[in-house]
Amino acid sequence: MRLVADNIACVRGGRQVFAGVSFSVAAGDALVVSGPNGAGKSSLLRMIAGLVRLAAGRLALQHGSEASIGEQAHYLGHVDAVKPALTVQENLRFWAGYLGGKGDVAGALDTLGLGRLGDLPAGCLSAGQKRRLSIARLVAVERPIWLLDEPASALDSNAQTTLAELMHAHLRNGGMIVAASHGPIGLDNTRALQLGTA
């Protein structure tokens, strides 16, 4: 499996955010996207996920399935998609169902250190706990492509270590990661894509 971007461009609100961007990510590889604020890192991830239209170029997944990129990707945005009135467990159960998985919700919460908080309303969680709840989706439902926008934001050092372990395991199992970040995310031997440079 290989994700290929060929000379893609993004226009938001009538403004060209980036143009002429090309890259390729194979199974087992990670691409870290960096650049200043407004360079289009989040827009690029959303474009790969199918949430933002291509203004130009081609984005394709070379594989043996007819499923779209979005159907095979987890998109973890920089804002956590958590319903505060639902419990922690209900939030993850909703996402598992929405993403078409029959994953182990309780096991995913345990992996992220949230098992004992399953019956707590998600609105009571700290920012770091909400981030861990969002990351639990990656564990509960297997998908080969992880699109991660500032994945380590709000995480303490222990949670950052857990995230790094999950990412390494995903890559070892043939998954791929495209992550936008202003700093290190705990992965070695990543490929780099710099946006916002002339």
Query: Are 20 and 180 contacting, i.e. CB atoms less than 8 angstroms apart?
Result: no
Helices (H) and strands (E) in the chain, counts: 5, 8
Look up the CATH number of the domain holding residue 164.
3.40.50.300
pTM: 0.94
Residue 52 placed within a domain: no
Residue 30 resides in a domain? yes
User: Which residues, 6 or more positions from 159, have their beta carbon under 8 angstroms from its beta carbon?
Assistant: 112, 113, 128, 131, 132
Residues ≥6 apart with Cβ < 8 Å to 117: 88, 109, 125, 129
CA-nearest of 2, 20, 21, 18 to 10 is: 18
> Exposed, middle or buried, 172 (CB in 10 Å: 0-12/13-18/19+)?
exposed
4 domain residue, yes or no:
no
Residue 25 tokens read as: 């990510």
Domain that holds residue 120: 26-41+67-191
Q: pLDDT at residue 198 above 90?
A: no
pLDDT of 46 reads: 95
In this predicted structure, what is the pLDDT of residue 87?
98
CA-closest candidate to residue 131, choices 113, 109, 153: 153
The answer to whether position 37 is within a domain reads: yes
Q: Over the stretch 159-171, which tens digit does the pLDDT of each residue have? A: 999 999 999 999 9
95-144 pLDDT, tens digit per residue, is 999 888 777 899 999 999 999 999 999 999 999 999 999 999 999 999 99
Q: How many domains does the chain have?
A: 1
Q: Indicate whether 6 belongs to any domain.
A: no
Check residue 64 and give its pLDDT: 66
Instruction: Classify residue 51: in a domain, yes or no.
Output: no
Query: Considering the domain boundaries, does residue 2 fall inside one?
Result: no
80: in domain: yes
